[in-house]
Amino acid sequence: VVSTQSTGNYFIQTNLRMKLLTHNMLKSHCKGVVNGFPLKITSNQVDVKEIEFNPDFISRMLSRLDWTVFVQSANLLGVGEGLPDMLPEDQDFDDEDVLKKIHHALLEVEVIEGELECPETGRKFPISKGIPDLRLNEDEK
Amino acid sequence: LESYLQDVQQFSSPKMHLEQYPTDPHLAASVLFTAESSYGDLQGKHVLDLGAGCGMLTIGCVLMGAEQVTAVELDKDAIRNLEENLAEMEMEEMCGVVQADVTSLPFRDNLQFDTVVMNPPFGTKQNEGIDMVFLEAALSRCRGAVYSFHKSSTRDYIVNRFESDDYKVEVIAEMRFQIPKMYKVHRKKEVFVDVDFIRISAG
């Protein structure tokens, strides 16, 4: 699925969509919220785009992720199959089958339209045309 | 590097209150080249671009080997420009874009990036001090180095405020920004501002 946008005289197809890697970074920062992480993803427009598998990159990313939230969110989107509940302690984790499943859920699943819901206030931040909009209204700052 | 960056499309609807103008491609190329060749701050790193605009620095970082770049930008029109530029350069895979306000970043508390790059607004009468807000936000999210541009007139203030046991401030280069007349309000054809390119590193 691609969307087309135009500038001037030509069309560019853009493919920037929100991946679970980005979702793993985001929290709700509404006034008064104590812990706005994680945001609950809901979406009825998800796409899959094949991305070259780089096992080293995935290995390096593992320590940066909030693993529980990643698995939880992947399951919410129906793409969590095969993801272990916990990461092994071993620094040199290199089971390629599992790394491929992680790669798929982390980078190849794309949310085009959807919402990110604050766990405390229920406030929904939109994802539209693949871009999550985390701007606050004046009264939420 | 510079020739790739020259192809980056400019803002299609620049907004005065956000101080939107593209970072000069030659400048972006030199500073990012320095960040990698002198300090190794880009190759294989997770980089944050605050106030990414049309994506000049984001793209430059990917070209210098950044593994993942997260771009934060407030303005939807600028994001559209950014997306198109990333599509043209085929860099969508390495980049994530978040629409948000740098003064209130929506990142989970323990999230740290290896390197932060930015060309922040310098601040006008309406939002004086915004450049320092950007710098504070950048430092709070960075485990490595922050690269930024600031008016040379603020150099002493920046060193006094940020240089400490925890942070080292370096002025890597002095330059003149030529800010083109993009808005009807500007009377001169362009304005020249003395600017420092600085690196603030943790630890």
pLDDT in tens, B42-68: 999 999 999 999 999 999 999 999 999
Query: Which of A12, A51, A138 to mutate to test binding with chain B, by most B CBs within 10 Å of its CB?
Result: A12
Cβ contact (<8 Å) for A13 and B87?
Answer: yes
- ipTM of the predicted assembly exceeds 0.95: no
Classify residue B131 by its DSSP letter: H
Three-state DSSP class for residue A3:
strand
- For residue B26, name the pLDDT band (cuts at 50, 70, 90): confident
- For residue B13, name the pLDDT band (cuts at 50, 70, 90): confident
- Which of B92, B100, B105 lies nearest to residue A16, judging by beta carbons? B92
The reported pLDDT for the residue numbered B62 is 95
Query: Which of A135, A136, A139, A140 to mutate to test binding with chain B, by most B CBs within 10 Å of its CB?
Result: A135
- CA–CA separation, A32 vs B99, rounded Å? 21
The reported pLDDT for the residue numbered A21 is 96
The reported pLDDT for the residue numbered B3 is 81
Angle ∠(B120,B122,B124) on CA atoms, nearest 5: 135
pLDDT of B15 higher than 50: yes
The reported pLDDT for the residue numbered A5 is 46
- CA–CA separation, A40 vs A38, rounded Å? 6
Minimal C-alpha gap between A124 and chain B (Å)? 14
- CA–CA separation, A8 vs B62, rounded Å? 26
pTM: 0.91
Taking CA–CA distances from B12, the nearest residue in chain A reads A7
Taking CA–CA distances from B98, the nearest residue in chain A reads A132
pLDDT in tens, A10-55: 455 566 789 999 999 999 999 999 999 999 999 989 999 898 999 9
Minimal C-alpha gap between B194 and chain A (Å)? 32
pLDDT of A141 higher than 60: yes
Give the DSSP H or E segment for A70. Answer: helix A67-76
Chain B CB contacts of A135 below 8 Å: 74, 99-101
pLDDT in tens, A63-85: 889 999 999 999 999 999 999 98
Cβ contact (<8 Å) for B106 and A7?
Answer: no
- CA–CA separation, A38 vs A117, rounded Å? 9
